[in-house]
Amino acid sequence: YRGEEEIQKELCALFPSAAVGETQSSVSAAEDLQTYSEREWKGNTTKSLLIRKGYEAIASEFNLRKVRGDNYCALRAVLFQVLSQSKQLPAWLHDSDISKWPKEMHSDQDFITEWQFPFETSKSKVQHLEQCLELLTNKWQEAVQSKSLEERKRMCQQVFRGHDEEYELLEALKFLMLRTAVQLHSDMEKGSDVPEFCWLLFARDSSKCPKTFLTNHLRHVGFSGGLEQVEMCLLGYSLQETIRVVRLYKCDTEEFITYYPNDHKNASPLCLLTEDDRHYNVLFMSFRWFQYLLVLSSVVIILIV
């Protein structure tokens, strides 16, 4: 992954007329996919040709937002899509006791002592996770209650600036993943039905149970590693969302478009893009494609009538 200083220089070069707040954003302004592909993947190596072909396959449908290239990128991309697209709150977010979940887990499992944050805090780890979950609840509610696209856009710009608030939201997502992992592992031990990815998640020698999953994997996300594919399934399941990822290096294969988790697909998945299953960027519907869908829907209505 590239250093933050390098990323900031690149953003300033790409968007010299942007406001200071935008150039410092951890999710960049929209960019045409074809233009980005031609600039970033020059040459005629086998990989360059494959990646460019993948971009070309989706260029008419999507535009791109580049996500800061650190080990939080998958979480950041998903969070951005959640806050920019959600039309209603997920069922779990209606739980009035959500801020108490860290204390409950700490009392039952004593997991929270291993948690690490990307910044210093005077609060206990339990208290800080409670604050993170409360912030996530408030921001998700604010996004859903936005009265216009412009209001929602401003809210996202304020969140994704690389400040403590953004990282607290990302740590909240990690906690939700841990809580879900604990629940699913308990269901597995009871013989209850669980999603397919659970068997892969806990089949790893380094992740036989929620404790080792936290110790060997989750606590390192954002620091020395990102999310693996099976953990992307856990993230989507935890948020009650489907994550649709265009995997460019898998172009011309059945895995070019992958869903996390793959055993349930929402009508409006969160769309991401990756070139290597390590770094993730945000995809969103292009205006041209939006116009095409409007025309298509009008034709269908006329035919029905």
201 CB-near residues (< 8 Å, 6+ apart)? 181, 184, 207, 213, 230, 231, 233, 234
From the candidates 128, 185, 217, 279, which is the catalytic residue? 279
- 12, 32, 70, 198: which is the annotated catalytic residue? 70
73 as an active site residue: the answer is yes
CB 238 within 8 A of CB 180: yes
Nearest partner of 177 among 223, 133, 145, judged by Cα: 133
Annotated catalytic residue, options 32, 73, 185, 217 = 73
Which are the catalytic amino acids? 70, 73, 279
